[in-house]
Structure 1
Amino acid sequence: MPAITAKDDGLKRKRKVTKDDVKKRARAGESGSDDEDVHSQILLLEAEILESKKNYNNIVKLINIAKDHESDTESAIFASVALCRVFIRLLAAGNLTLQRGASDKEAIVIQWLKDQLSEYKAILVTLVSDQDLASTALTLAMKVLKAEGEQLNANKDFYVFPKEFLEHIVLALVKSKNSDAREEFVEKYVDEYDDVRFFTHQATKNILTTRSAEFTDPEWFDLFFDLCSPSTGSPALTPSWRTSTCPRQRRRRTTSFLSLSIRSTPKKPGWH
């Protein structure tokens, strides 16, 4: 490659700015401004939802933005993060739980919120299958799963885990081309939490049993096996992982993904 001379460098510095350059810069500026406007709008919609039940329809607006991930990825992720915060707050406040003595109007609102949550979870599962968005979507999905699981276990005498949602996440991870997301799931969740490990095994078994026609290639079995195999040598779990079969046997300290208060009588595993 010939060296750049001072003359050449000077010519580069003196290059005239064309009309096309001005138009490109203007478009870039407009695009950046548009993104900021959309993000500001998303934050406003989120704040209004948490401010009053009258603004629950803003959830639909955020879901529509999150759906549009193919044409506006950044805004879709921004909306997905906002929705994650919204639903975690609503779940923690019990706004998706039908209380005894609730009116018909309240029951309708709660069912509507549950429907919106289901749609949001479906969006996250779709994003988990996306090669570029898998990691972020997985983090959001597991945050929602945790919040939903803790709400399901409120005032219950038996342990309930959101098995169905985890199964959808597992299926999306297996079908995803992003191996990093699968490794992240194993390292952050399967390795760390006994309940996630146990129910991931159950999800894998159920998928391969009920959808065997879709996974005839041995490569699929390898992916499922890798996904539910702890990388740190954590022991496999049985359905009695919450309790010890022998009172005198010293139990390994278990770690639950769901933050639940420990009762004097251990909860029995349940399904949801």
Structure 2
Amino acid sequence: MPGLVAEPTGVRKRKLDDTAARDVALKSRKAPKTAAAGESTEEKVLRLEEQVLHGREHYNNIVELQRLQRNYETKPRAASLAAVSLCRVFCRLIAADELRKRGGASDADIQIVRWLKARLREYVQSSTEWIGVPDPAQESTALTLLMRIVKVEIAQDVKQAEQAWKTESSTFWRVLKALLEKTEAEGARQEFVERYVEEHDDVRFYTLFVVKQILATSHLDREAATRNAIELLTQIEDVPKSDDDLQHWYGQPPSEGHKQLRSLNAHRKVAQEAWLTIFRSKLTPDQRKRIISVATTHLLPWFSTRSELLTDFLTDTFNASGSLALLALNSIFYLITEKNIDYPEFYTKLYSLLDEDIMHSKHRSRFFRLLETFMSSSHLPAAMVASFMKRLARLSLQAPPAAIVWVVPWVYNMMRQHPSCTFMLHRPYHPAHAIWSAKSEPAEDGMNDPFNPSEGDPNLTGAIDSSLWELESLQSHYHPNVATLAKILGQQFTKDKYNLEDFLDHSYGTLVEAELKKEMKKEPVVEWEIPKRIITTEDGGLDRIGGLLRDALSVA
């Protein structure tokens, strides 16, 4: 029999046992409403919800609410109202421990707990089906309601909260599984990262953990899951830099004994494991390109203490041809300069990227910026520097004007930095030099360029013995800006260096626009005579052009 508790006023009040206390927590202050004739859908949903919260005898209303939720295509408003109502119902039931078995519980109570868990699984399943639908409002509603369930589940004791994050049957796990499974859920993945992952350190930690587990153990379509995981993880921009940055929690703040969530090394480790799981998959070129494009800002910070784990992925990407190698340049150079990773063939590979395609690539400006950085050292061999200048000069003969206007000032800067290469601009006649000795009369017979464009090693191309005659020919370029700029190499080097950023990001459009905006100092004198006839002669016959036109028409 329940015990008695003495009140300060001397009034004796009966103490409620645990079962009665839970019933009071679930019951509304007012008696549950009954069905009224002509009630609206909203009134019906609220009535069913209120009855569920009033007592166990109305738990079957959950089934009716779930039926309304499944009818989204025919009755979207009723389905949304039912989904929100069910979320409130399950949040109250979870908070009141109605979904947990207790020691000494009767068989009837155990059956009710099992039944409620099954209804919760059905609700989560129905809500995850809304992720990836064409309607963004429906998708956003489902994600919000599911994460509200997650918040209540992780608000329990430490053991239950850990299970709510990590177990395969948990709501959080099933949300991540839906985000990785459904290719059409781009909006949901972006919203999930922006609202939850970026804002809460525990959500980010367990997202990385669950993504790794799903990719390693799940039977999902591996290619689609990997693609969606890359899309999800590459949107995570907020990488913590110290333990003090770990202060924002979606659930209860971790206790002092739970040091994992408060450790930056633990966050880095779980991120590294998630990314390494992705790297072990068969990545397509597009997927590699997506990762490499954000590697410096989104990927390398997670591997700051163990950069060697990235070496294989980055070198494999760098060894690939085309734009992939170009995009991997910056990350490889970072590992070489900051982490002392040895890559002896770096400049040989960089030299191989200088081809016709790079001058027309959409990544041209990015590559030129990186090339300026890589070639900025004054300790590079003169033969190597000469090879890079000669290769770019040769490519300039077929390059668009927007690329040439960067190459010329870059060559100027390299000449200033490496004076031993200035012979390539002006090499007077000397019979003992290899460039002249091959021909006895070079002015009449011409001469062979000692530069070997097919040589892959920039130290062995022979460019240092050649000349930059290609840049001399650019002084006769059809575009006036290019012709004027190329003439700076034929003048005295009075300028210290050019700011190459001023010559980047040009295109045909910008060059033409700049030319049209120039003020005309003197109007050109134009004189012409308007012809009286075009294809006929004065006596009415056909002239030469008219005869050709007649013959062409007769053949047609």
TM-score (norm 2): 0.36
**One-letter code aligned to 1:194:** D
Distance in 1 between residues matched to 2:63 and 2:128, nearest whole Å: 18
Q: Match of 2:143?
A: 138
Shift of 1:158: 8.1
**One-letter code aligned to 2:208:** H
Q: Match of 2:188?
A: 181
**1:124–1:137 CA contact under 8 A, matched in 2:** yes
Give the secondary structure class of the aligned counterpart of 2:154: helix
Distance in 2 between residues matched to 1:47 and 1:180, nearest whole Å: 33
**1:145–1:166 CA contact under 8 A, matched in 2:** yes
Q: Match of 1:50?
A: 53
Q: Match of 1:234?
A: 239
- Tell me, which stretches of 5 or more residues in structure 1 are unaligned? 1-33, 237-248
Q: Match of 1:69?
A: 72
Give the secondary structure class of the aligned counterpart of 2:155: helix
Shift of 1:136: 0.7
- Tell me, which stretches of 5 or more residues in structure 2 are unaligned? 1-37, 262-556
Distance in 2 between residues matched to 1:250 and 1:123, nearest whole Å: 39
Distance in 1 between residues matched to 2:113 and 2:248, nearest whole Å: 32
**One-letter code aligned to 1:143:** R
Q: Match of 2:249?
A: 256
Pairwise CA RMSD = 2.6
Q: Report whether the alignment pairs 1:167 with 2:173.
A: yes
Q: Report whether the alignment pairs 1:266 with 2:271.
A: no
Distance in 1 between residues matched to 2:216 and 2:258, nearest whole Å: 30
Larger Rg: 2
**One-letter code aligned to 2:155:** E
Give the secondary structure class of the aligned counterpart of 2:130: helix
Shift of 1:146: 1.4
Distance in 2 between residues matched to 1:230 and 1:256, nearest whole Å: 19
Distance in 1 between residues matched to 2:52 and 2:70, nearest whole Å: 19
**1:59–1:83 CA contact under 8 A, matched in 2:** yes
Residues 34-79 of structure 1: CA deviation (Å, up to 9, x unaligned):
8x72221111000000111110010011011111122211111110
Shift in CA distance, 230/193, structure 1 to aligned 2, threshold 3 Å? farther
**1:158–1:267 CA contact under 8 A, matched in 2:** no
Superposed, 1:72-111 pairs within 5 Å as 72-111=75-114
**One-letter code aligned to 1:259:** Q
Q: Match of 2:119?
A: 116
Give the secondary structure class of the aligned counterpart of 1:97: coil
Distance in 2 between residues matched to 1:124 and 1:216, nearest whole Å: 24
Distance in 1 between residues matched to 2:174 and 2:49, nearest whole Å: 26
**1:84–1:144 CA contact under 8 A, matched in 2:** yes
TM-score (norm 1): 0.71
How many residue pairs get aligned? The number is 218
Distance in 2 between residues matched to 1:63 and 1:250, nearest whole Å: 44
**One-letter code aligned to 1:195:** D
**1:195–1:257 CA contact under 8 A, matched in 2:** yes
Shift of 1:211: 4.3
Distance in 1 between residues matched to 2:216 and 2:161, nearest whole Å: 26
Residues 158-209 of structure 1: CA deviation (Å, up to 9, x unaligned):
8443333323212322415242221110011111122211221222222322
Q: Report whether the alignment pairs 1:225 with 2:201.
A: no
Distance in 1 between residues matched to 2:214 and 2:45, nearest whole Å: 36
**1:195–1:256 CA contact under 8 A, matched in 2:** yes
Give the secondary structure class of the aligned counterpart of 1:256: coil
